[in-house]
Amino acid sequence: MYKGPLFIASDHAGHKLKKRLVRYVENELKLKIEDMGAHEYDELDDFPDYIIPAAQRAIEQKGRVIVIGGSGNGEAMAANKVKGMRCALAHSVETAELSRMHNNANGISFGAHIITEEHAMAMLKKWLETDFLGGKYQKRIEKIEKFENKQ
């Protein structure tokens, strides 16, 4: 099980799921997690205001981030604008697991309008307990980083 720095952020659409995942991580997985907002439900909030700082914090702390929105698409896109972030949009336990095994994902995105709380908890648990395989997959990560560093 992952034990490093862990951050979470959402917009209003993901607010309820975020609160549930924070309780799950702290109470059931017994891990520490930092909630980077939104701290209150406000349907006029903008996800980049929370997602980008959370992704930056995860990179700075060599940690991981969980981002949540309605579909999870915009949140993954915003997180991935942060240099070094590899945030995967997960819709199944298998996609969550493969994002770690093959892509060394340091971010995961959930769509609160797409998945149930139970499904999100199962995906998150698998993501936190799965290690990166390295090997041929490391070579691929290095190619992504090489391109990213040219930008």
Told to judge if 119 belongs to the known catalytic residues of this protein, a careful annotator would answer: no
Q: Do 91 and 122 touch, CB atoms closer than 8 A?
A: no
Name 134's Cβ contacts closer than 8 Å, sequence gap at least 6. none
Q: For 79-95, what is the mean pLDDT? A: 97
Q: How far is Cα 71 from Cα 74, in angstroms, rounded to an integer?
A: 7
Q: Would you list the DSSP string of 90-137?
A: -SSHHHHHHHHHTT--SEEEEETTTS-HHHHHHHHHHHHHPPP--THH
What mean pLDDT, rounded, does the chain reach? 95
Could you report the per-residue pLDDT of 55-85, keeping only the tens digit for each? 999 999 999 999 999 999 999 999 999 999 9
At 43 the pLDDT is: 79
Instruction: State whether residue 146 is helix, strand or coil.
Output: helix
Tell me, yes or no, if 75 is annotated catalytic: yes
pLDDT at 75: 97
Is the domain spanning 6-150 CATH 3.30.70.100? The answer is no
What's the pLDDT band for 48 if we cut at 50, 70, 90? Answer: very high
- For residue 10, the 8-state DSSP code is E
What would the pLDDT profile of 108-139 be if each residue is shown by its tens digit?
999 999 999 999 999 999 999 999 999 999 99
When pLDDT is averaged across residues 45-58 and rounded to a whole number, the result is: 95
- Which residue in the list 91, 97, 102, 119 is annotated as catalytic? 102
Q: Name the active-site residue from 75, 97, 129, 142.
A: 75
- Residue 13 three-state SS: helix
